[in-house]
Structure 1
């Protein structure tokens, strides 16, 4: 899903603040570098620009240096500056013209933020930009391992937005900031995506056969985890639907994204807090994927803010689910709920009866 030039900024801002590596694709001259520079300034983050195409592998994997304790991998100066700042943006420009050896050296930088023997702070975000190989001098397709570490965002020129910017200026001062505690919702999004994969297991991993497509966004266990984080971040600022869709497609690809969005729209899930408030109102649908999603959402909500009352209500929900013929689905949620138990919480003997053998087998009782 392609973002218009002026509407890509909210998606970039959300991903940058969420700490998910971003790769922006677009032809030369559309403002990728200028936009990322302005974003860093607006968010008050130090920016280090590294042109990947003119670097050597040692610039990212570290230069071997002999010291008193042996050989260590000395990182470049830009890495030391980011560590001293404690936060910032590492901007890898011209990534599609970086040769394969440099791309390999970038694998740990992008995923683990490790540069030589130095680890960048967790508050340092990694952003890259690339021109499509056919539009880059000496361009290379991205290797699948490197491509799958990014959320890919695509630029589509918005003529009217450019005209407005030329006349009135390009201001990005009104960016939505992620609120404190937004990460608390990540677990719920993980549960939702897990429910979808249970319904569409073939979408968990789909490595494209075509080399050029393997260098873009495609679904993998890693990219689904990134998608959950970005969905939570987007919801925390009430992002527009097209922004959330662009972030999701940027992680798992457009095909998997469209299937998930259609599935989620068809779910019509009840509010898990309403079910916890009155478990007797629970009536699960016939569809197994809907039931799984509902129970996962309820248990995630209960364990996210666990009290003795919510603990008891959650077990009652699972017991009622078993009575309604959904014991197998409820059993998965029961393991998660049992693992969250606190020592002072009593075991609900009646509601727990259906799940005792399973929990004993798993070492949870």
Structure 2
């Protein structure tokens, strides 16, 4: 056997190889803004089952391993596709007198270890290769945390991973009942994260910091948002998709709306970004209903038009363009609802404030609408002169675009 002398010791070739492997595995972590990782940790904190969807080899399993280490949770990995249904529903075991005591369902060893530990991260890998019978057996585990007669403790969190059927080994579509129990997150790779990670530094997963003082307001905000949307759009309460592929993803039901409400409350208490909230909401009720929910949240989070009208000189307007425009339109609508000269003048002052602190084109439509609300006895405020230039400039730009389009259309027709 070939041997090497290192540090005064006689080492075999495998010993040296082990040292090299140890050096390759010696990595560190760093705090880094990562929307999908933050969404994952927020859903884990909310004690909701999460399903990571992604192509093979992009790091789903590695992310879960690093998450467990960061949260100091023992990781238990169960490959769903190599188990029988009885492994999740419980193995029947004969007792002393089955006629009197019945036949108990014994849990598998990994479930017993989780109960003894009292906490942990249960990772159900390769979920899309599990047969329909195994998926049916997983229903109670995912929702009720029960395996046979055993119940997993509250300190256990459940995360699963799956490949799309097109890239899964002998894959199956996820059943609708099982899919509706998960928060679905699309897991993608970030080139910069991969390169930095291969260099030895990976992003660190940390649980969100919840503001204790914001908890009651966060719950109230989430309830008002979800109930408000479903009151206005009752068709969204339950909408089972028509295709098997879509049934295996996120779709709206009373169960998934309850999950959405919980996630909105957690995201609000944690001060999560809109990108993170978007991933969570769309991953729970689907893209269409999720986008409607996000739009509803945007409207709820807008400044109160009455407060802006009461102190227009110090009005604080949203930075984002779509939210700023919605705010200005809300101010004009408030004047339309209860018109008087003082409120009309205050609305013009708000528009001037918006002109001074943002894109001029955003005030065009609100200014035009506000001008149409003027009554004969109302004097034109001085502020309107400042807005007239922006309105006229916008109209000239629109006319120029229209002329260019007309010329282009005529030239195309003449060919």
Once residues 105 and 165 of structure 1 are traced to their aligned partners in structure 2, the CA distance between those partners, rounded to angstroms, is 37
The answer to whether 1:125 aligns with 2:127 is no
Aligned to 2:170: 138
1:17/1:178 contact within 8 Å kept: no
Aligned to 1:101: 133
Of 238, 253, 263, the match for 2:271: 238
| Alpha-carbon shift at residue 237 of structure 1 (Å) | 1.8
2:237/2:252 contact within 8 Å kept: yes
Of 90, 93, 114, the match for 1:65: 93
The answer to whether 1:78 aligns with 2:110 is yes
Once residues 105 and 143 of structure 1 are traced to their aligned partners in structure 2, the CA distance between those partners, rounded to angstroms, is 12
Once residues 53 and 199 of structure 2 are traced to their aligned partners in structure 1, the CA distance between those partners, rounded to angstroms, is 26
Of 224, 232, 235, the match for 1:191: 224
The answer to whether 1:262 aligns with 2:295 is yes
Alpha-carbon displacement from aligned partner over 1:127-159 (angstroms, at most 9, x marks no partner): 100000110111000000000000000022221
Matches within 5 A, 1:166-315: 166-172=198-204, 174-178=206-210, 184=216, 185-268=218-301
Aligned to 1:15: 43
- Compared CA separation, residues 188 and 174, structure 1 to 2 (3 A): closer
Once residues 173 and 203 of structure 1 are traced to their aligned partners in structure 2, the CA distance between those partners, rounded to angstroms, is 33
Aligned to 1:328: none
Once residues 238 and 147 of structure 2 are traced to their aligned partners in structure 1, the CA distance between those partners, rounded to angstroms, is 28
| Alpha-carbon shift at residue 165 of structure 1 (Å) | 2.2
1:6/1:161 contact within 8 Å kept: no
Alpha-carbon displacement from aligned partner over 1:13-67 (angstroms, at most 9, x marks no partner): 1111110000000001111011011111111112111000100001100001111
- Compared CA separation, residues 175 and 126, structure 1 to 2 (3 A): closer
Alpha-carbon displacement from aligned partner over 1:168-192 (angstroms, at most 9, x marks no partner): 5113155534456876533541232
Once residues 142 and 35 of structure 1 are traced to their aligned partners in structure 2, the CA distance between those partners, rounded to angstroms, is 22
**Further displaced range: 178-187 or 87-96:** 178-187
Q: Find the residue that maps to 1:209 and give its secondary structure.
A: coil
Q: Find the residue that maps to 2:103 and give its secondary structure.
A: strand
**Further displaced range: 159-168 or 228-237:** 159-168
- Which of the pair has the greater relative contact order for Cα pairs under 8 Å at 6+ separation? 1
| Alpha-carbon shift at residue 269 of structure 1 (Å) | 5.9
The answer to whether 1:26 aligns with 2:54 is yes
Matches within 5 A, 1:154-173: 154-172=186-204
Q: Find the residue that maps to 2:187 and give its secondary structure.
A: strand
Aligned to 1:334: none
Once residues 178 and 18 of structure 1 are traced to their aligned partners in structure 2, the CA distance between those partners, rounded to angstroms, is 11
1:61/1:105 contact within 8 Å kept: yes
- Compared CA separation, residues 8 and 72, structure 1 to 2 (3 A): same
**Further displaced range: 37-46 or 56-65:** 37-46
Alpha-carbon displacement from aligned partner over 1:65-110 (angstroms, at most 9, x marks no partner): 1113220100001111111111111110000000000000000000
The answer to whether 1:149 aligns with 2:193 is no
Once residues 32 and 186 of structure 1 are traced to their aligned partners in structure 2, the CA distance between those partners, rounded to angstroms, is 31
Alpha-carbon displacement from aligned partner over 1:316-359 (angstroms, at most 9, x marks no partner): xxxxxxxxxxxxxxxxxxxxxxxxxxxxxxxxxxxxxxxxxxxx
Gaps of 5+ in 1: 275-283, 288-365
Once residues 147 and 302 of structure 2 are traced to their aligned partners in structure 1, the CA distance between those partners, rounded to angstroms, is 44
Gaps of 5+ in 2: 1-32, 308-333, 338-415
- Normalising to structure 2: TM-score of the pair? 0.62
Once residues 111 and 210 of structure 2 are traced to their aligned partners in structure 1, the CA distance between those partners, rounded to angstroms, is 26
1:25/1:129 contact within 8 Å kept: yes
Once residues 105 and 214 of structure 2 are traced to their aligned partners in structure 1, the CA distance between those partners, rounded to angstroms, is 36
Structure 1 segments (4+ residues) deviating >2 Å: 164-168, 173-188, 266-271, 284-287
Q: How many residues align?
A: 273
Aligned to 1:281: none
| Alpha-carbon shift at residue 208 of structure 1 (Å) | 0.4
